[in-house]
Amino acid sequence: MKNLLDGVEEILLMGPGPSCVPPEVYRALSRPTLGHLDPYFIGIMDELKLMLRTVMQTGNRLTFPVSGTGSAGMETCFVNLIEPEDPVLILVNGVFGTRMVDVAGRLGGAVDALPFEWGTPVDPQKVKEQLRKRHYKIVAVVHAETSTGVCNPVADVAALLDPDTLFIVDTVTSLGGMEVAADAWRADAMYSGSQKCLSVPPGLSPSTFSDRALQRIKGRKTKVPNWYLDMGMVIDYWDGAKRAYHHTAPINMIYALYQGLALILAEGLARVFARHQSMHHLLVTGLEKLGVEMLVSPNARLPMINAMKVPPGVDEAVCRAALRSKHKIEIGAGLGPLAGKIWRIGLMGHTARPENVDRFLGAMGEVLGRR
């Protein structure tokens, strides 16, 4: 029988994630698998936690990767912090804010969704007005809304919150590509994903919890309604002297994340962020030359995910298919109300390099017949 893996091609991943994986990370994945309680592996876990604290800009002791993709990180934050009937405010301007509403609602939270037009950022003034109407135990926002390319003003929202309101922040797309600062944002729970700007394959969700969040979890009246993601138990594996078995850590994925973080820290966070920003400018300048417009106004644009409008009369799916089959480039389509109207061009992590931007602009120009 033919092995399908022999036919896997190298595709330039310029969509909303996964992003291109650097060779060092592929090598890390193929290191020998150790036992999940092996002392050498525990040493790797400990150093990984320190690197994550630096990248997430937090002193939180409980900073580690949840076993699962970004959505598992989202689920972990909500399932541990919400109890039935808790008032929760979620700021929604895209797919991932909408997903938070679904997750929080399934847990029995009394959820208010404050909507903003897709493609525009959350307006702190409207948040302020909403916070006057009701006292919330939890407020949640997505920093980088991958579905639209919008950056939400997390620090401005944080400044409006009551001291006893817990703040949940989604940094799946932003972490490793722009400034993310859990402590400065007074975030109580923050989660990310391995496959966006960290340029590691999908499968881990770096997450962090403040001491206030841990207090809230300890003081719960009801058990966390999900065994796998219960922080009260997971913490005994990732932290402290006990190192008790909870679930088998995805060992080789942890090697990969370790290597991905090491590469980012070796380059230096400031340089990594500047590289994302300059690749974003290179892309936008090139697209403007092709006569293509951006969806988001310049002050709210994310560097790592760029929403461009599909020109009138162009079939977006046909272009995307041509990019994939002829040029071996993957880009993202629009979602929800933006389906058929935009493309999303990712410049995440290892993808954010000049040769990739040039290759994409050349291919897009050809596909649009505008070169």
Ligand X SMILES: *Cc1c(COP(=O)(O)O)cnc(C)c1O
Tell me which residues touch ligand X (CB under 6 A): 17, 69-71, 74, 96, 142, 144, 146, 170, 172-173, 193, 202
Q: How near is the Cβ of 365 to ligand X at its closest, in Å?
A: 28
* Residue closer to ligand X (CB basis): 58 or 76: 76
- Which lies closer to ligand X via its Cβ, residue 71 or residue 120? 71
Residue 253 or 363 having the CB closest to ligand X: 253
Quote the least distance from Cβ 69 to ligand X, whole Å: 3
**DSSP summary character for residue 90:** E
Residue with nearest beta carbon to ligand X: 70
Which pair of tokens denotes residue 236? 């005994």
- CB 358, min distance to ligand X, A: 25
* Residue 231: HSE in the Cβ half-sphere, 13 Å Cα cutoff: 30
DSSP class of residue 21 equals P
Minimum Å distance from CB 66 to ligand X? 11
Of the pair 197, 292, the CB lying nearest ligand X is at 197
Q: Are 82 and 61 in contact (CB under 8 A)?
A: no
Closest distance to ligand X from the beta carbon of 221 (Å): 29
* Cα 334 from Cα 147, distance rounded (Å): 7
Task: Specify the residue, 48 or 305, whose C-beta has the smaller distance to ligand X.
Answer: 305
Can you spell out the DSSP letters for 244-302? --SS---HHHHHHHHHHHHHHHHH-HHHHHHHHHHHHHHHHHHHHHTTPPBSS-GGGB-
Q: In the bound complex, what is the minimum distance in angstroms from residue 218's beta carbon to ligand X?
A: 27
C-alpha to C-alpha distance for 106 and 78, rounded to whole angstroms: 10
Q: How far is the CB of 359 from ligand X (least distance, A)?
A: 23
Task: Choose between 206 and 363: whose C-beta lies nearer to ligand X.
Answer: 206
How far apart are alpha carbons 48 and 82 in whole angstroms? 28
Identity of the residue, 202 or 286, whose beta carbon is nearer to ligand X in the bound complex = 202
Q: How far is the CB of 65 from ligand X (least distance, A)?
A: 12
Q: Which long-range contacts (CB under 8 A, 24 or more apart) does 121-124 make?
A: 121/93, 121/150, 121/151, 121/152, 121/153, 121/300, 122/91, 122/93, 122/152, 122/153, 122/157, 124/153, 124/156, 124/157, 124/159, 124/160
Beta bridge partners of residue 87, listed in sequence order: 110
- Cβ-based nearer residue to ligand X, 93 or 173: 173
Cα 335 to Cα 232, 312, 338, distances in angstroms: 36, 18, 5
Closer to ligand X by Cβ: residue 174 or 363 = 174
In order of 153, 159, 236, 263, 346, the CA distances from 176 in angstroms are 17, 23, 27, 11, 14
Helix (H, G, I), strand (E, B) or coil at 93: coil
CB of 77 to ligand X, least distance (A): 11
Cis peptide leading into residue 18 (ω within 30°): yes
Q: Looking at the chain, how many residues does it have?
A: 371
